[in-house]
Each structure stands twice: as C-alpha cells, then as structure tokens.
Structure 1
Amino acid sequence: MIFKYQLGTDGEIYQDALSIRRAVFIDEQDVSESLEIDGNDEQCWHVVGYLDALPIVTARFYIFNQSDKLCLKLQRIATSASYRRQGYGRALMEQVIEWAHQQKISQIHLSSQIQAIGFYQTVGFNTCNDAIYLDAGIEHQDMIYQVNKKDL
C-alpha cells in the first residue's frame, strides 16, 4: 500500500479522500453532507492509502498546541467497505503514528465511534474518560495516543 499526503483541498489526493468519506459516512452511515464536509478540510492534512492505485483508506488531521505540547487531531478515518477487516485500517493508523513520530508530535487525539473503540485500542489508543456523546447522531468517545518520546 502506498500512502500519499496533501494539505488542503486543491488536488487529487483530497478528491480521493472525499470519495471514500462520502461512501462511508454519507452513504453508509447517513451523515448529512453538510456535517461531513464541514468547511475545515482546507486547513487539514489528508492522507489516503492506495492499493494498486485504488484509494481505499483515508483520514484527515490537523496539528495544534496543548499545554506546550505539539498534538495531532485525527478525524474522518474511513476504509472502503470491501477492504475492511483486512489490515488496511491498521496500516493507515500505523502510517499516521509514524508521521507523528517524525514530526515530534506528543499526542494523537481522536473521537471514536463507539463501535470502533476496540480497533483503536489495538493500535495503542486509550479512552480519555467515560463520557459518550453524539456527533452527527452517532455515539462517540474521545481517545488519545501517547507518542513514545524514546522513539523520536
């Protein structure tokens, strides 16, 4: 699998990311397009995983400072339906974690759909607290990954 990154919305990588997101969030999960395409894409990085030139996994993220720590907020994580449970989502997460290591990020934050918490735990994320909330009508819980300083 080949991963490609793009900052902002001007390019093919973003269009490929959007195609996956539309299929997963809008078509499968009935999230409204106005919530899914929220106006923040221009300020985010978009990563897409390609298998034989076919875009199959994606995520977006942005970097922020919290208590003098460089952090990454990971969002819009999606795998095309026919490629789930084959290790591609894990490969995407490992790719983003490696990118974070290289950029000297301290923490990676994400908001997980409840049904996906177990998956994120297998790649090292932990829930932040017991609070469950609705986002786009779907139950979510905040999670965090502590980037290992000795690996930087």
Structure 2
Amino acid sequence: MEKKLEPLLNIKLIDAKSSQDLEDAFHVRREVFIKEQNVPDEEEFDRADLRSHHVIVYSNTRPVATGRLFKDGETWLIGRISVLKEYRGKQIGKLVVDKLLESAVKMDAGKVYIHAQTHAVSFYEKFGFVAYGKTFLETNIEHISMVKKI
C-alpha cells in the first residue's frame, strides 16, 4: 500500500497594514464562513482586519487556513480561525492558534480572548482557553466567550 504524502505546509504571519497577502486570508474565510456557514459578507469582514496580525497556512502555494490577532482597546482578541474543509483533521488549525498565541506572547498580551463557536470549545480548551459567561448568537451561530492567560 502506498503512503500518501502530506502537502508541504508553510506558515506566514502578516501585518495587514503592510502586506498584499491579506487576500489569501480572505479567500479562506470566504470559503469557510460565507460559503459553508452562510455568514453575510458584510459581517465577516470588518475594520479589525486592517489592524490585525494574520496567520496564513499554505499547502504548497494554496492558502488553506487562517486566523487573526488584534488589540481592541486594552483587550487582545484571536478570531476568524478557519481551515478549508478538505484540510481539517490534520492539525492545521492547531498550527494557526499556536502561531497566534506565540505572537500574543511577543506582544505582552497578558490575556487573550476569543468568541468561540460552541462546537469548537473543546478545541480551544486544549490551548488553555476557559469559557465564561452565557452563550450568544453571532452571525446566527452560537458562540461563547473564552479567555487564556498568557
């Protein structure tokens, strides 16, 4: 039996203010949130994109996963974690979150918050995030707030 080789993965951290690679992150988010989860385009993209640090994972040259980290006032937020359907279950989402948390440490974040879709709570708990408060709807999808001390 022939073993199928995993595609070459490349992880890139970009600063939206100085990068043309932002469209690659948007491509992944369009596929996952807009096409799969029916999030309205106007709710998926916001001003935070332009002040965020984005992680993009490429399989060879194809963008397959992304996420962002940004500061809102004194609060650091991770969000928009997304992996293309055919790349899920391969630890790629873990690569994204690890890289974002590494960036948060370098920026002395102290605490990092996330609005997690409720089906993904156990995924984020593996990184040390703790859920708090009540569930709420965001883009018609049930979420809960989570926090991690850095």
TM-score bracket, shorter-length normalisation: 0.7 to 0.9
- Moved >3 Å (runs of 4+): 9-12
- Cα RMSD of the aligned pairs, angstroms, is 1.7
* Structure 2 counterpart of 1:87: 91
CA distance in 2, matches of 1:64, 1:11: 21
Could you list the runs of 5+ residues in structure 2 that have no partner in the other structure? Answer: 1-8
Aligned amino acid, residue 74 of structure 1: I
Q: TM-score when scaled to structure 2?
A: 0.86
* Structure 1 counterpart of 2:23: 15
Identity among equivalent pairs (%): 27
Shift of 1:19: 0.2
Which one of 78, 100, 110 corresponds to residue 82 of structure 2? 78
Could you list the runs of 5+ residues in structure 1 that have no partner in the other structure? Answer: 148-152
Shift of 1:51: 2.5
8 A Cα contact 1:3 1:50, kept in partner: yes
* Structure 2 counterpart of 1:127: 131
CA distance in 2, matches of 1:62, 1:76: 11
8 A Cα contact 1:125 1:144, kept in partner: yes
Shift of 1:80: 0.7
Q: Any idea what the Cα deviations from partners look like across 1:65-91, whole Å, max 9, x if unmatched?
A: 54xxxx420111101110101101011
CA distance in 1, matches of 2:68, 2:149: 19
